[in-house]
């Protein structure tokens, strides 16, 4: 099946990738191997997912066996909150490259705009369970300049942002020598993020949607929030196109010109999520999905709000608290 790609900095990013967030050890390696054997050419990783070593073993296997070539796979990872100081950025990248058994990343993102106390503990907390932030609170510019050096050294091809709001994106654009190639954020019909999408299109930033199905298993979901896979409007569009509700939600992102990274460790679901290129949604379908968030409220609902970081000065969703 033919994969589509969009521009992402100096590279081309396949528009459907496999997400690995919450994919458990003992399962994620097999999921990545199945995906690469069956047409996927984009794998999304992160240090904080704590499964990069297992994914690295899979990369070593599939590349050494010639199942796919390294240069044909777009691989993303992310800089975690405890590594934002200039001297710590290369350490984090080196660990990720070692764990993934790679010489370079296609894309390296700042995972969140917040900064935690540096150290091996990825989630540092005090005796009361409150997160310990980095007292130095390094600027975006300090972190970004360190990422730019990784590009200069050939360790990453592109750099970008994740979970940044519009003002934070604008700040980075003002000083960046290497422009952000991508923005990865939660996006689905209950949180279409149309304003951020417009900013990305105006600045040639690839928009990558995570949790495209609305994260139905999230503990942060409101009691009244309906599962997108069971939404009547989504189901009607699915019946119209003879596709599953999940395929409609993934195609929704593709038809907006976005990249989308649904996650799964189930082979049949992994295959289904990629089988979205034989049809497209029409203007009526897109209008329904773009306005579906209004069933919840004026701003829709974000399932990955990490509101427990809300006291950090760089918390990106303050207007939603």
Q: What's the CA gap between 81 and 135, in Å, rounded?
A: 13
Whether 240 contacts 215, CB under 8 Å? no
Which DSSP category does 110 fall into?
E
What Cα–Cα distance (Å) separates residue 267 from each residue in 41, 56, 79, 254? 16, 19, 29, 21
- Catalytic positions: 49
Q: Which two tokens stand for residue 70?
A: 């390294």
What would the two tokens of residue 282 be? 């029409």
Distance CA 311, CA 114 (A): 10
d(CA 11, CA 260): 16
Beta bridge partners of 184: 162, 208
The pair of three-digit structure tokens given for residue 79, joined into one six-digit string? 């800089």
Q: How far is CA 312 from CA 137, 171, 302, 316, in A?
A: 10, 17, 18, 9
Q: d(Cα 147, Cα 289) in Å, to the nearest integer?
A: 36
């Amino acid at each position: 099946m033919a994969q589509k790609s969009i521009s992402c900095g100096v590279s081309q990013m396949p528009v459907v990738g496999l997400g690995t967030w919450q994919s458990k050890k003992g399962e994620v390696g097999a999921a990545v191997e199945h995906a690469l054997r069956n047409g996927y050419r984009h794998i999304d990783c992160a240090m904080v997912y704590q499964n990069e070593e297992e994914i690295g073993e899979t990369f070593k296997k599939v590349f050494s066996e010639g199942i796919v070539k390294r240069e044909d796979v777009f691989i993303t990872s992310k800089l975690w909150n405890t590594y934002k100081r200039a001297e710590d950025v290369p350490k984090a990248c080196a660990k990720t490259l070692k764990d993934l058994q790679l010489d370079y990343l296609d894309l390296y993102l700042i995972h969140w705009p917040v900064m935690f106390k540096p150290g091996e503990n990825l989630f540092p907390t005090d005796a009361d369970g409150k997160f310990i932030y980095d007292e130095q609170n390094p600027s975006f510019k300090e972190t970004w300049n360190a990422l730019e050096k990784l590009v200069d050294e050939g360790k990453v091809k592109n750099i970008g942002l994740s979970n940044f709001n519009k003002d934070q994106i604008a700040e980075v654009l003002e000083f960046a020598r290497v422009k952000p190639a991508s923005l990865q954020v939660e996006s689905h019909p209950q949180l279409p993020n149309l304003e951020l999408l417009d900013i990305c299109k105006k600045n040639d930033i690839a928009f990558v949607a995570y949790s495209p199905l609305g994260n139905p298993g999230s503990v942060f979901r409101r009691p009244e929030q309906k599962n997108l896979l069971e939404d009547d409007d989504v189901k009607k569009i699915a019946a119209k196109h003879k596709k599953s509700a999940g395929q409609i939600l993934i195609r929704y992102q593709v038809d907006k010109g976005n990249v989308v990274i649904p996650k799964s460790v189930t082979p049949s679901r992994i295959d289904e999520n990629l089988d979205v290129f034989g049809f497209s949604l029409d203007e009526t379908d897109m209008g329904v999905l773009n306005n579906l968030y209004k069933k919840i409220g004026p701003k829709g609902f974000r399932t990955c709000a990490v509101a427990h970081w809300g006291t950090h000065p760089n918390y990106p969703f303050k207007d939603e608290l």
